[in-house]
Chain A
């Protein structure tokens, strides 16, 4: 992801962080959210400053999305997310405020065709099967088709939870998708779908 799309994605993540930082009581140790950022091309990697870090400890200005034109391995991104989410969900099961604790939300967006490795369906299914008291983790995905690039709509739709896929055709919409859905605090498919409709 490069050019205007990369700028739009960067802006979306920064706005999401700023919105999340603005919530809750003041103080650097009072974050309501944690953030995990995974970039993927041929491979996937975790941004070391956003490895399930409380949002109020992340400087939004230091976040940047800038692809180098490699291939698109959605599976690698989802597998890495799964690796982090499994122990997180295990901890949630023993959390003192388990009943009130919100579930993680997975956002996936890509402007390329999945063209490396296995299809991502199984990794997506495993993420969506992680649950707390019967509530599963939701994946919201966006296929970014701007200019000459065409997203892998079919694959991205398949990895998304029901009603949680959206095609994106402008840089503005990409920013709005990331910032609005990411900071919504919603974690149920119907609530996410409502946010997506409002974009």
Chain B
């Protein structure tokens, strides 16, 4: 029988380190690392969806406790694939591993893109390690609702633990985002001559996605660097939010600009679920970052 023990063991070392060094915000909450601040919210989405009962998205934002060298704010969100077994675990493991490794190994000497590539490779390796533990004893790891032959087939074909991953961080007054999968990244500068930018989005005409999986990492699908000195607001989202926004992605930023709650990400998602459940029929995750 598959239980969370294996996953918790893999996560605990990362979580302990991140708690010792700073403040992790898991799934929902507000955070600040002046001059930057923001909010995060992740939830199942509208009820009665044709999805697993678990929220297969995950989100984690970490801020450093003390002044000093190194990264001060790292955000991660991941969207486990609906059709991939235990992708909710994959999303969770990817976020904890990605944030921890990025924070721990960041140095000013290493080119950020190179660091991001190495971190994504390590995340894939961590998923591979989890997969290996499940594969070592298929009889023990076989879920109760699954035929054993099918479970062995899923393990052999690697049809499990697949997730997207978006990692964002701020260093040297630059916003950097690395992404694999179909997440959205929308940026607005509050300067008269700057147009809104869609830095990443999903293909609204298809659900196809190239995810991270056990031991596999493709090239980074998006690598984004933008100045972060001027006032800005950036939304990092899973594809459920992107699809709900449709052709008007900046409605999201228009909406949150008017809000003064502690967690505008949460308010936005709760309103979307209440007002347009059909459009936002997915697990929903949103991270808002801003230079206030």
Query: Could you tell me which A residues sit within 8 Å of B by CB distance?
Result: 14-15, 17-19, 21-28, 30, 56, 59-61
Within 8 Å of chain A (Cβ to Cβ): is B292? no
- Residue among B83, B145, B147, B159 making CB contact with A61, cutoff 8 Å: B147
A27 and B145 contact, CB distance less than 8 A:
yes
Which residues from B are CB-within-8-Å of A15?
A: 153
**Bound Cα distance A27, B143 (Å):** 10
Which residue of chain B has its CB nearest to the CB of A26?
B52
B150 and A21 contact, CB distance less than 8 A:
yes
Which residues from B are CB-within-8-Å of A60?
A: 147, 149-150
B153 and A18 contact, CB distance less than 8 A:
yes
- Residue among A22, A28, A59 making CB contact with B83, cutoff 8 Å: A22
The answer to whether residues A21 and B147 also contact, given A26-B52, A27-B52 and a CB cut-off of 8 A, is yes
B52 and A25 contact, CB distance less than 8 A:
yes
B147 and A25 contact, CB distance less than 8 A:
no
**Bound Cα distance A22, B152 (Å):** 11
Within 8 Å of chain A (Cβ to Cβ): is B154? yes
A26 and B150 contact, CB distance less than 8 A:
no
Which residue of chain A has its CB nearest to the CB of B152?
A18
Which residues from B are CB-within-8-Å of A61?
A: 147, 149
* Further 19 A-B residue pairs, CB within 8 A, beyond A21-B147, A22-B83, A30-B50: A18-B150, A18-B153, A19-B153, A22-B85, A22-B150, A22-B154, A24-B50, A24-B82, A25-B50, A25-B51, A25-B52, A26-B145, A27-B52, A27-B145, A56-B145, A59-B149, A60-B147, A60-B149, A60-B150
- Residue among B50, B51, B146, B149 making CB contact with A14, cutoff 8 Å: B149
Smallest beta-carbon distance A180→chain B, Å: 13
- Residue among B85, B147, B149, B157 making CB contact with A26, cutoff 8 Å: B85
**Bound Cα distance A22, B85 (Å):** 8
Which residues from B are CB-within-8-Å of A14?
A: 149
Interface CB pairs A-B, < 8 A, 15: A14-B149, A15-B153, A22-B83, A22-B150, A22-B153, A22-B154, A22-B157, A24-B82, A25-B83, A26-B143, A27-B52, A27-B145, A28-B145, A60-B149, A60-B150
Contact string against A for B residues 81-107, beta-carbon threshold 8 Å, 1 for contact and 0 otherwise:
011010000000000000000000000
**Bound Cα distance A148, B143 (Å):** 44
Contact string against A for B residues 31-74, beta-carbon threshold 8 Å, 1 for contact and 0 otherwise:
00000000000000000001110000000000000000000000
Smallest beta-carbon distance B83→chain A, Å: 5
Residues of chain B from 145 to 167 with CB closer than 8 A to chain A in the complex: 145-147, 149-150, 153-154, 157, 159
**Bound Cα distance A24, B146 (Å):** 13
Smallest beta-carbon distance A100→chain B, Å: 11
Which residues from B are CB-within-8-Å of A28?
A: 145
Which residues from A are CB-within-8-Å of B85?
A: 22, 26
**Bound Cα distance A18, B148 (Å):** 10
The answer to whether residues A24 and B83 also contact, given A59-B147, A61-B147 and a CB cut-off of 8 A, is yes
Smallest beta-carbon distance A2→chain B, Å: 23
Contact string against A for B residues 249-267, beta-carbon threshold 8 Å, 1 for contact and 0 otherwise:
0000000000000000000
Which residues from A are CB-within-8-Å of B147?
A: 21, 59-61
B145 and A22 contact, CB distance less than 8 A:
no
**Bound Cα distance A25, B149 (Å):** 18
**Bound Cα distance A101, B153 (Å):** 27
A25 and B154 contact, CB distance less than 8 A:
no
Which residues from B are CB-within-8-Å of A56?
A: 145
Interface centre among A17, A18, A59, A60 (most CB of B within 10 A): A18
Which residues from A are CB-within-8-Å of B154?
A: 18, 22
Which residues from A are CB-within-8-Å of B83?
A: 22-25
**Bound Cα distance A18, B154 (Å):** 8
Which residues from B are CB-within-8-Å of A23?
A: 83
Which residue of chain A has its CB nearest to the CB of B153?
A18
Which residue of chain A has its CB nearest to the CB of B157?
A22
Which residues from B are CB-within-8-Å of A30?
A: 50
Contact string against A for B residues 129-152, beta-carbon threshold 8 Å, 1 for contact and 0 otherwise:
000000000000001011101100
**Bound Cα distance A30, B49 (Å):** 12
Smallest beta-carbon distance B123→chain A, Å: 23
- Residue among B82, B143, B150 making CB contact with A25, cutoff 8 Å: B82
Which residue of chain A has its CB nearest to the CB of B160?
A22
Smallest beta-carbon distance A63→chain B, Å: 10
Which residues from B are CB-within-8-Å of A27?
A: 52, 145
Which residue of chain A has its CB nearest to the CB of B88?
A26
**Bound Cα distance A60, B149 (Å):** 7
